[in-house]
């Protein structure tokens, strides 16, 4: 067991990399997918079920937990790991992104953001310093800088000003984070889809120095082509010996394309959120289980999948419990989708280690029918 945070690369194949992030709470195999645990729970899953899908790390959130139940309360109760019964690594986002997408009455200044809670309308403030304090109180292993993610569409001047504010906040985050052995602070690159701004942001972050670097400001509606356009150059601007985290991504084909371009870590609500609505991801594409065509289908969702939904139930049963609104429906499909995402990451790690990522990518796309199956 290590007392430090470290990252080691085991193999590369083109720009794709596979390796291990070591933390005092456990190792994270990269490329890694991180399930979203917004309010101290991965919805519809027990922590042991999340671990059974193959997840080495999950996400928590400053914004949600500061509003409810409160960061000081979580700290009094032993920290987020104890609170939610997950003893492996946790990464927490810094809250700025969620304020801009969820909170009311927002006011953005050089100091930070003030806002009213989307839960009860109470007034709150987030600054780089307060975000670092909250993430320390939660006890998260990997802390994100407090940043501003501009909403698209935004003109280059607005994106530049926002990125420069985020870089000043990154400096303040680093100072407030202090020296915490075994814990990591990640800088977040901004700059929209403008190469020069992405370069300016990367240089500013490297000058400050972080344990890892996130590519932020994407998966905000720009579309896959524009996102891949940025990923064709942005990861290379970041230190190759530190983990690279692409925030908020994505659909399975987004994930394959991002790993191909040098990304090591990703998060997305998609597998869990769509699981609750009846969308199942399979190697042959997406299955909408509520569709009438599945009502009499005795086959499992995906005969090659080892999850409880595929091992124990038919499509007909899953169709029935979704139509009936039974709780087990969201549980089974969330479990399946998270397992599918983890199996996808495991397959990519193996392909990179074997030098066969190109073949993996060809097979991945060949198997997927377009649209619903």
Ligand X SMILES: CNc1nc2c(CCc3ccc(C(F)(F)F)cc3)c3[nH]c(N)nc(=O)c3cc2[nH]1
Binding site for Zn ion (CB under 5 A): 305, 307, 309-310, 336
Using the minimum distance from each CB to ligand X, give the nearer residue, 138 or 321.
138
Q: How far is the CB of 69 from ligand X (least distance, A)?
A: 15
d(Cα 189, Cα 283) in Å, to the nearest integer?
32
Residues 51-70 that bind ligand X (CB under 6 A): 59-61
Helix extents (H) in 282-326: 308-312, 315-323
How far from chain centre, in Å, is Cα 227? Answer: 16
Q: Which of 23, 33, 29 is nearest to 11 (CA)?
A: 29
Query: For residues 9 and 102, which CB has a smaller minimum distance to ligand X in the complex?
Result: 102
Please identify the residue of the shown chain whose CB is closest to the bound ligand X. Answer: 248
Query: What's the min distance (Å) between Cβ of 98 and ligand X?
Result: 7
Asked if residue 301 binds ligand X (CB under 6 A), the reply is: no
CB of residue 310 to ligand X, shortest distance in Å: 26
Which residues contact residue 121 at a Cβ distance below 8 angstroms, ignoring those fewer than 6 apart? 104
CA gap 144, 165 in Å, rounded: 16
Cα–Cα distance between 89 and 34 in angstroms, integer? 10
> Which residues pair with residue 6 across a beta bridge?
22
Q: C-alpha distances in angstroms, 345 versus 20, 349, 353?
A: 13, 6, 12
Q: How far is the CB of 188 from ligand X (least distance, A)?
A: 5
Q: For residue 144, state whether it binds ligand X (rule: CB under 6 A).
A: yes
241 counts as catalytic? no
Active site residue 179: no
Taking CB under 6 A as the rule, does residue 256 contact ligand X? no
**Dist. CA 123–CA 114, nearest whole Å:** 7
Q: Based on the shown chain and the rule CB under 6 A, indicate whether residue 37 belongs to the binding site for ligand X.
A: yes
Contact call for residue 147 and ligand X (CB under 6 A): yes
Which residue, 88 or 294, is less far from ligand X as judged by CB? 88
The count of chain residues that interact with ligand X, using the rule CB under 6 A, is 22
Active-site hit among 56, 93, 147, 211? 93
Taking CB within 5 to 8 Å according to partner kind, which of Zn ion, ligand X, none is near residue 305? Zn ion
Q: Do 5 and 183 form a contact (C-beta atoms < 8 A)?
A: yes
Which of 56, 211, 254, 267 is catalytic? The answer is: 267
Q: Minimum CB separation from ligand X for residue 219, in Å?
A: 3
Which strands sit side by side in the sheet containing 104-108, from one edge to the other?
Answer: 104-108, 113-116, 123-126
Nearer residue to ligand X within complex by CB, 31 or 300? 31
Based on CB atoms, which residue is closest to ligand X, 166 or 282?
Answer: 166
Q: What are the DSSP calls for 50-88, one per residue?
A: HHHTT-S-EEEEHHHHHHTT-HHHHHHTT-HHHHHT--S
If you search the block for the tokens 């400001």, which residue do you land on?
217
Active site residues: 93, 267
User: Which residues of the chain form contacts with ligand X (CB under 6 A)?
Assistant: 36-38, 59-61, 93-94, 96-97, 144, 147, 149, 188, 216-220, 247-248, 267
């Amino acid at each position: 067991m290590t007392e430090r945070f470290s990252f080691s690369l085991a193999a590369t194949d083109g720009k794709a990399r596979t390796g291990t992030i070591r933390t005092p709470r456990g190792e994270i195999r990269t490329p890694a997918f991180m399930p979203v645990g917004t309010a101290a729970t991965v919805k519809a899953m027990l922590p042991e079920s999340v671990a059974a899908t193959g997840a080495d790390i999950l996400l928590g959130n400053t914004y949600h937990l500061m509003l409810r139940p409160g960061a000081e309360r979580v700290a009094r109760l032993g920290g987020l790991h104890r609170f939610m019964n997950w003893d492996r690594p946790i990464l927490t986002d810094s809250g700025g992104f969620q304020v801009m997408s969820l909170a009311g009455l927002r006011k953005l200044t050089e100091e930070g953001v003030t806002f009213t809670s989307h839960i009860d309308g109470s007034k709150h403030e987030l600054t780089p310093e307060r975000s670092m304090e909250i993430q320390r109180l939660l006890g998260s292993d990997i802390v994100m800088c407090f940043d501003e993610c501009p909403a698209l569409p935004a003109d280059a001047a607005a994106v530049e000003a926002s990125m420069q504010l985020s870089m000043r906040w990154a400096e303040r985050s680093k100072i407030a984070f202090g020296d915490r052995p075994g814990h990591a602070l990640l800088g977040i690159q901004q700059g929209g889809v403008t190469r020069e701004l992405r370069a300016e942001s990367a240089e500013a972050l490297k000058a400050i120095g972080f344990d890892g670097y996130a590519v932020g400001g994407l998966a905000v509606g720009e579309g896959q082509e524009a996102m891949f356009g940025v990923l064709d150059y942005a990861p290379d601007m970041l230190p190759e010996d530190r983990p690279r985290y692409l925030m908020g991504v994505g659909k399975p084909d987004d994930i394959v394309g991002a790993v191909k371009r040098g990304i090591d870590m990703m998060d997305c609500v998609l597998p869990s959120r769509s699981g609750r609505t009846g969308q199942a991801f399979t190697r042959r594409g997406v299955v909408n289980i509520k569709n009438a065509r599945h009502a009499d289908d005795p086959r499992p969702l995906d005969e090659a999948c080892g999850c409880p939904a595929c091992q124990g139930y038919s499509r007909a049963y899953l169709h029935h419990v979704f139509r009936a609104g039974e709780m087990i429906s969201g549980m089974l499909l969330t479990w399946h989708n998270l397992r599918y995402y983890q199996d996808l990451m495991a397959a990519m790690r193996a392909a990179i280690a074997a030098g066969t990522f190109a073949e993996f990518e060809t097979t991945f796309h060949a198997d997927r029918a377009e649209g619903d199956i």
